[in-house]
Amino acid sequence: MRAPAQRYLALRALGAPAFVVSLALQGIFRGFKDTKTPVFSLAIGNFIGVVLFPIFMFYFRLGASGAAISIVLSQYLVSFSMLWCLNKRAVLLPPKLGGLQFVGYLKSGGYLLGRTLSVLFTMTLGTSMAARQGPVAMAAHQVCLQVWLAVSLLTDALAASAQALIAGYSSKGDYRVVREISNFVLKIGVVTGVILAVALSVSFPSMATLFTQDMEVLGIVKTGVLFVSASQPINALAFIFDGLHYGVSDFAYAAHSMMVVGALSSAFLFYAPRAFGLPGVWLGLTIFMGLRMMAGFIRIMSKDGPWWFLHCDMSSLKEGSQGQKHAR
């Protein structure tokens, strides 16, 4: 299992530049409040990737390496398509590079880089601990993890929308609207999470057969139904809180809280699988998302942070005058 995994990672690394560029481009289009262009680009790229999977994996008999090649090609297609669309709307290379505010960008980007590394380390540790349970357990873990992540990221659309709207209104000092948006998106997040939890609890056992027909793997996968389904409301709120933080440019808290959450979750993930096996890994990942949700809740309940206006009387925020005064 180690040799094909190394080849897979080596090939996937070739797609890293395209993937990073695509993430940056998605952020740019969010700033334009354009959610359609990234969706269409990602849909086309992923469709091409799905078409290429059987060709490279089975027709050319490249196996896992073929899967990596397909993903890399789709990533570059996504990046080039979004760059092509962005070129129609903006000047990609301004005449004076010195006028760009790189310092502020690098400061915010540095915070988010630290946050991303914390998430990456925790998720990688979870995968590592699952791999130590054996190839069958690892296969079951990957099935559960892919479904868990794919379904959870559906709520990321809510977070992206909230981020764009909140950023726009908070920059104008209209904190009354920001409060309404925040309350609405959190309620929708809870409802969406519950619906996803119910849907997965019913459909996940049959959905797992799309990944494998191995009865031993499917037997372990069935024990992960609770992990995949019950954690959806938690995941939904965790992602939405991230969007709220970004909307008010609270990057420092998002990064620092994630580092603490990642450290606590990683400590649990390091020891729990030794006692509980694969369920210990799933429990650790659920704790990770739960702590992310709690960190977001603690922040918006604070009267001293950027969410101070949630604790003010609605009438005092009517025209944003108090908000602009507080911001100054």
Give the pLDDT confidence score for residue 322 in this predicted structure: 52
Confidence category of residue 99, pLDDT binned at 50, 70, 90: low
Distance CA 225, CA 229 (A): 6
Residues 83, 37, single domain; the answer is yes
Asked if 258 contacts 115 with a C-beta cutoff of 8 angstroms, the reply is yes
Residues 140, 188, single domain; the answer is yes
Has residue 96 been placed in a domain? no
Has residue 101 been placed in a domain? no
For the entire predicted model, the pTM comes to 0.82
The single residue listed with the structure tokens 């959870």 is: 152
pLDDT tens digits for 48-92? 999 999 999 999 999 999 999 999 999 999 999 999 999 998 877
Q: Within its chain, how far is the Cα of 290 from the centroid?
A: 14
Residues 218, 69, single domain; the answer is no
Please give the residue range of the domain that contains residue 14: 1-88
Has residue 105 been placed in a domain? no
Has residue 267 been placed in a domain? yes
Q: Which of 228, 77, 241, 243 lies closest to 160 in space, CA to CA?
A: 243
Domain boundary among 71, 88, 105: 88
Burial class (CB in 10 A: 0-12, 13-18, 19+), 42: middle
Has residue 22 been placed in a domain? yes
What is the rounded average pLDDT of the residues 244-273? 95
Give the pLDDT confidence score for residue 108 in this predicted structure: 73
What is the rounded average pLDDT of the residues 239-266? 95
Residues 275, 166, single domain; the answer is yes
Residues 6, 80, single domain; the answer is yes
pLDDT tens digits for 102-156? 666 677 778 888 898 999 999 999 999 999 999 999 999 999 999 998 887 788 8
Tell me: pLDDT of 209 over 70. yes
Straight-line distance from the first to the last Cα atom of the chain, in angstroms, rounded to the nearest whole number: 58
Distance CA 163, CA 243 (A): 5
Distance CA 79, CA 88 (A): 15
Per the model's pLDDT, the better-predicted residue between 155 and 183 turns out to be: 183
Residues 40, 134, single domain; the answer is no
Tell me: pLDDT of 328 over 80. no
Residues 6, 144, single domain; the answer is no
pLDDT tens digits for 9-55? 999 999 999 999 998 899 899 888 888 899 899 999 999 999 999 99
Q: How many domains does the chain have?
A: 2
92 Cβ contact partners less than 8 Å away, ≥ 6 residues apart: 83, 86
Has residue 110 been placed in a domain? no
Distance CA 312, CA 293 (A): 23
Residues 200, 251, single domain; the answer is yes
- 139, containing H or E segment: helix 135-152
Has residue 304 been placed in a domain? yes
Residues 51, 171, single domain; the answer is no
Residues 196, 75, single domain; the answer is no
Distance CA 308, CA 47 (A): 44
pLDDT tens digits for 282-317? 999 999 999 999 999 999 999 888 999 888 876 666
Has residue 9 been placed in a domain? yes
Tell me: pLDDT of 264 over 80. yes
Residues 145, 275, single domain; the answer is yes
306 Cβ contact partners less than 8 Å away, ≥ 6 residues apart: 248, 249, 250
Asked if 178 contacts 169 with a C-beta cutoff of 8 angstroms, the reply is yes
Residues 166, 63, single domain; the answer is no
